């Protein structure tokens, strides 16, 4: 039930405009109540108040912020994010999410992006939006659901994906493994440093076919995108109400891959540098 934002490239002012629209949509998402009724989770009465977070990648840093606190009470960090964007030199990648959960534990340590490192050298950060049958996925993965009382469905999803990556599965196939246990949809964002040393970002849009018959539900769940020469944007449809422009709708099942080739890396050899130690 979360809202997501994906930005890549160089235009900082456009990025800040999207960020402002994204957080305005938090206060007033016109399709939220319809989606709640469609999914029969009427106990949810308010806007996206179960935490917020982001991943910001630049040429020299990977910064994350995770909060179990409602954005309504955390505006200083929202301002801090925009300040960070303003001070960037060069390319950047931003993924952010506003959380509304239907159940389970809420805390900063149980917030996206989940960071996972596998034994075969994948490092990855994962955001997921929509409802999962976590008990079904736990059963598929032979996990005892009672061991996850202070976590949520995303914990089990990450376990499932990690198992596939550690079997050297194709990254897309690994990321799609949890689809077999969905209640509604699978909008995801992922940033991966793979075992070849390459950095990639992934974006997926998906809803179960039977739910696409409900037009109001589709308005809440669909992702929109806009590819300018200096900024690629994708995010929840509610952003359109606060940044009116011409957007394309991501098709159901559309999976996008991005090369993140702007991160500075170099090899350092202590001995080749001729450095002496006095001990």
In a domain, 177, yes or no: yes
Q: The domain that contains 114 carries what CATH number?
A: 3.60.20.10
Q: Which residue has the higher pLDDT, 113 or 23?
A: 23
CA distance 123 to 119: 10
Is position 114 within any domain? yes
* Mean pLDDT across 139-150: 78
How many percent of the chain have pLDDT more than 90?
37
pLDDT higher than threshold 90 for residue 246 = yes
Distance from C-alpha of 58 to C-alpha of 71, rounded to nearest angstrom: 24
Cα separation, 231 vs 12, in Å, equals 9
What is the band of 153 on the pLDDT scale with cuts at 50, 70, 90? confident
Number of domains in the chain: 1
The model's pLDDT over 223-236, given as tens digits with 9 standing for 90+, comes to: 999 999 899 999 98
Give the Cβ contact number of residue 16 at 10 Å.
16
Among residues 68, 148, 54, the alpha carbon closest in space to that of 108 is found at 68
Q: Which residue has the higher pLDDT, 261 or 76?
A: 261
Cβ neighbours for 34, distance < 8 A, ≥ 6 positions apart: 216, 217, 219, 220
Q: Is the pLDDT of residue 100 over 60?
A: no
pLDDT at 204: 94
Supply the pLDDT for residue 241. Answer: 87
pTM reported for the whole predicted model: 0.85
Average pLDDT over residues 46-57: 71
> Where is mean pLDDT largest: 51-60, 112-121, 130-139?
51-60
Confidence (pLDDT) at 190: 94
For residue 265, tell me if it sits in a domain.
no
Q: Report pLDDT for 51.
A: 64
Q: Which domain holds residue 50?
A: 3-259
Residue 144 lies in a domain: yes
- Classify residue 24: in a domain, yes or no: yes
DSSP 99-114: ---SSS---GGG-SSE
Comparing 20-34, 120-134, 149-163, 246-260, the range with the smallest average pLDDT is 20-34
Q: Average pLDDT in the 54-70 region?
A: 86
Assess if residue 180 is contained within a domain: yes
Helix axis angle for 75-86 and 12-27, nearest 10°, is 160
Q: Is residue 224 helix, strand or coil?
A: strand
pLDDT value at 222 more than 80: yes
Within a domain: 276: no
**Span 168-193, pLDDT tens digits:** 989 999 999 888 888 777 889 999 99
The chain-wide mean pLDDT, for the chain, equals 81
Query: Which pLDDT score, from 0 to 100, does residue 250 have?
Result: 95
pLDDT, tens digit (0-9, with 9 covering 90-100), for 64-91: 887 766 666 677 878 899 999 999 999 9
Identity of the highest mean pLDDT range in 160-174, 210-224, 265-279: 160-174
In a domain, 44, yes or no: yes
Give me the pLDDT at residue 265, please: 78
CA distances from 3 to 98, 112, 115, 166, 174 (A): 5, 12, 19, 30, 23
What's the confidence (pLDDT) of residue 48? 45
């Amino acid at each position: 039930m979360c809202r997501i934002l994906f930005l890549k490239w160089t235009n900082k002012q456009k990025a800040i405009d999207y960020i402002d629209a994204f957080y305005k949509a938090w206060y007033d998402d016109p399709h939220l109540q319809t989606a709640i009724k469609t999914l029969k989770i009427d106990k949810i009465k308010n806007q996206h108040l179960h935490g917020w977070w982001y991943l910001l990648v630049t040429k020299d840093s990977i910064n994350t912020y995770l909060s179990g606190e409602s954005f309504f009470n955390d505006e200083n960090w929202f301002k801090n994010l925009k300040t960070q964007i303003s001070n960037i030199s060069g390319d950047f990648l931003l993924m952010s999410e506003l959380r509304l959960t239907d159940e389970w534990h809420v805390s900063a340590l149980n917030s996206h992006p989940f960071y996972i490192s596998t034994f075969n050298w994948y490092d990855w950060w994962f955001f997921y939006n929509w409802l999962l049958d976590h008990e079904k996925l736990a059963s598929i993965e032979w996990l005892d659901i009672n061991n996850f009382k202070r976590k949520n469905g995303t914990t089990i999803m990450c376990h499932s994906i990690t198992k596939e990556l550690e079997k050297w599965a194709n990254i897309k196939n690994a990321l799609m493994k949890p689809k077999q246990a969905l209640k509604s949809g699978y909008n995801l964002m992922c940033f991966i440093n793979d075992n070849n040393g390459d950095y990639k970002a992934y974006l997926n849009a998906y809803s179960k076919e039977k739910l696409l018959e409900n037009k109001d539900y589709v308005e809440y769940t669909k992702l929109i995108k806009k590819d300018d020469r200096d900024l690629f944007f994708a995010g929840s449809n509610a952003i359109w109400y606060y940044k009116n422009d011409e957007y394309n709708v991501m098709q159901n099942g559309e999976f996008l891959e991005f090369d993140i080739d702007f991160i500075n890396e170099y090899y350092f050899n202590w001995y080749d540098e001729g450095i002496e130690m006095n001990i």
